[in-house]
Amino acid sequence: MTQRLVSVGDDFALPAKVVVKDVNLPLRLSEVNTPQITFDQFPIELTDYSRINGTPTNSYSIIRTAGDVVYAVFYGSDLMPYIGRMKTDENQWQLFNLGTLPGNPLQAPAALDEHNNIAMMVDNAGYIHIAANHHRSPLNYIRSLVPNEITSGWESPAMVGTQELEVTYPCFERMNDGTVIFLYRDGTSGDGDLLINTYNDATKTWSRIGMILNGHLPGAGDNSAYPGRYCYDDGSGRLHMWWTWRDNSVGGGSTGSNNGIHYMYSLDKGVTWKNAASTTMTLPLVPTDMSAAVLTGVSGIAISGTAADTSGNAYAIVRMDAPINEMRLYKRVGSSVTYTVIGTSTMGHSALQATPDGKIYMVYCESNVAYLKQVAPSVGPSIRLMKWNMTNWVPSLAKTLPGSYTMRLLVNPVRLKPGGNIGGVLRLDLTTSNIDALTAGTMVLPKLRAPQVIADTTRHTPGSYPMVPGQWYGPSGVRANTPALTNGTFRGHIVTAARGCTIVECAANIVTAGSAGSLARFVIYRMDGKVLSQSANFDAATTGLKSVVMPLPAPRVGKNEQVVIGVLTHSASAAGPVFTGSGTVHDSRIAFGNATSYFTSVRSSYSLSSVPVPAVDQTLGFLTAPEGSSVASSDNAALVVVKAGAALMDWDLGTNE
């Protein structure tokens, strides 16, 4: 049954309590003498958890349609999904907050998980399709009620209804006759299948074409396919796909587990597929089937940008990790697949852009700098594209219309201090004169402005984010074990809340060194030494890895308030516990060293001895490190994480004046 999610309002829809200023500010940022390069800036801040906006799976976060209309999707600083629409000659973004739709079909706000990309497509009739915020989660899909409109209502129709409970990496593709298909992984890393659906414009319904790649076929072992960005070539009518298989039984479940390179294409919109030699494949392909393989026996592979040139040849950028340490451009011409080394593996995930003169350009990020590089038919130098800090950025390009040299690049976010994190669409004509001007440094790049409209009630500090109820948060970058904490020893860290919140649970991992009678408890107290909350005692004895989760009486922490979160041990004769940031943690709800903290970075560590276990509202004296000092991974901060409560959004928010 289709659920209609009518939400009609102003062009710019924001959460309540937001003060909007300077709505009519000019957003076209270009130099008078250089109209070839422009930057159409979004009027609101983007989240500075950059990987959620710049994930390698963002194939179509930006789309250009006939009439020179551009659509873009991204997460704002409130982690809400936004869609923007702009007609190029109007120079003004129209924005809508998709997190305000009735029933919250996209499950906003997004979790701090770089898998949660936003996929978008506009069909032949002008309806906008969006799937967003997935990592092994039920399908979140919406469609606009009115063609080519983003503020006139949305609906959440069913798609197919089967194998839609563990969706990751959704992607839409559109063929030259307007047919739209939808591809996604069903399952998990190292144990998933690749499925494809097709859309009927006349009936506005979806149907299943079938399973293309089967990663957990009985007897074949647990695997999953990791495709590069799909590429549809309007000239030849071919849908190209390059992929690698991930076997989590080797390599640790990351790119080290990815092995081999495979290629195939479809001439009938994904129904049947052929390998490079044009032999029809028997679907679904399984990991042991090498009929589409172009490279075998090699691991540590990541495939990103793909493209097709004017002759119909297919390209893919492939990063080869150690021990090869190369960035390669693979090219399929006829039945032959060859590669050219274009750099080292330090080059980041990329996007490819084809031009009408038969050239292929690569956009990538290395050491937080964005570069443009010609990679075919010859390899050119790397040219700095933007003089901005592009931390962890992965490029997303709008598909060009036939005969166009214009590259439209989604930029999100750029870290601008002071003034928040900005995003927008960079437009550059990839002509010889412009490339020469970029190379010579004579083309003046756009200047950035601080965003004048804020998408949230608070401006978050770098490294801090709004808490999501039920999600775990912990200090980032802390991995080393503490020493054994003897009787009366306190270990903790100062944290600063980016906004008001409640804390409902604390958790930690204990490894070895704890013995019978070893007790501890979590303590949270303010900077004046007054205890804010503490848990009951827990048994810290263990002979291996032990995860401890303890409830707290939901202490409230005010916006920008500093508190100390840590562990106090108390056992007269038992060996003290060792807390660790390594290993499997709390049913995989957090990952020490990788989890992004809701709080600012760890700032100071505490060490006390011979202090009694405090009662609530008692004060506890403590020693501090110098203000602003940092704690390295080898220091002795207690490795504690906190869980957000359900009431975190209902107090101490205020308005941003």
Q: In whole angstroms, give the CA distance from residue 520 to residue 268.
A: 64
- Report yes or no on 510 lying in a domain: yes
Residue 447 sits at φ, ψ, to 5 deg, of -95, 145
Per-position b or e across 26-48, b if 16+ CB within 10 A of its CB: ebbbbeeeeebbbbbbbbbbbbb
Q: Which whole number is the average pLDDT over 603-612?
A: 30
What is the CA 393 to chain-centroid distance, rounded?
10
Q: Which whole number is the average pLDDT over 612-624?
A: 29
Per-position b or e across 82-91, b if 16+ CB within 10 A of its CB: bbbbbebeee
Given the DSSP bridges, would you call strands 579-580 and 350-354 parallel, antiparallel or unpaired? unpaired
Reply yes or no on whether the pLDDT at 148 is more than 90: yes
Instruction: Return the number of other C-beta atoms located less than 10 Å from residue 284's C-beta.
Output: 18
- Report yes or no on 271 lying in a domain: no
Could you read off the pLDDT of 40-57 as tens digits, one per residue? 989 888 876 556 776 666
Could you read off the pLDDT of 310-362 as tens digits, one per residue? 999 999 999 999 899 999 999 999 999 999 999 998 898 899 999 999 999 99
Q: In whole angstroms, give the CA distance from residue 350 to residue 394.
A: 7
3 state SS of 33:
coil
Task: Name residues whose C-beta falls within 8 Å of residue 232's C-beta, 6 or more positions apart in sequence.
Answer: 173, 174, 175, 176, 238, 239, 240
**CA Rg, the chain, in Å?**
26
**Token duo for residue 256:** 């080290």
Q: In whole angstroms, give the CA distance from residue 182 to residue 230.
A: 11
- Report yes or no on 514 lying in a domain: yes
- Report yes or no on 192 lying in a domain: no
- Report yes or no on 636 lying in a domain: yes
- Report yes or no on 523 lying in a domain: yes
- Domain with 555 in it: what CATH number? 2.60.120
Residue among 544, 533, 569, 560 at smallest CA distance from 642: 533
CA distances from 339 to 208, 226, 312, 320, 613 (A): 35, 19, 17, 12, 65
> Strand locations in 498-561, DSSP E?
501-511, 519-526, 531-534, 538-539, 545-551, 556-557
Could you read off the pLDDT of 72-92 as tens digits, one per residue? 999 887 778 999 999 988 878
pTM: 0.69
Hey, CA dihedral for 382, 386, 388, 392, is it positive or negative?
negative
Least confident of 196-200, 445-449, 620-624: 620-624
Query: For the chain, what is the domain count?
Result: 1
What domain range includes position 546?
A: 472-644
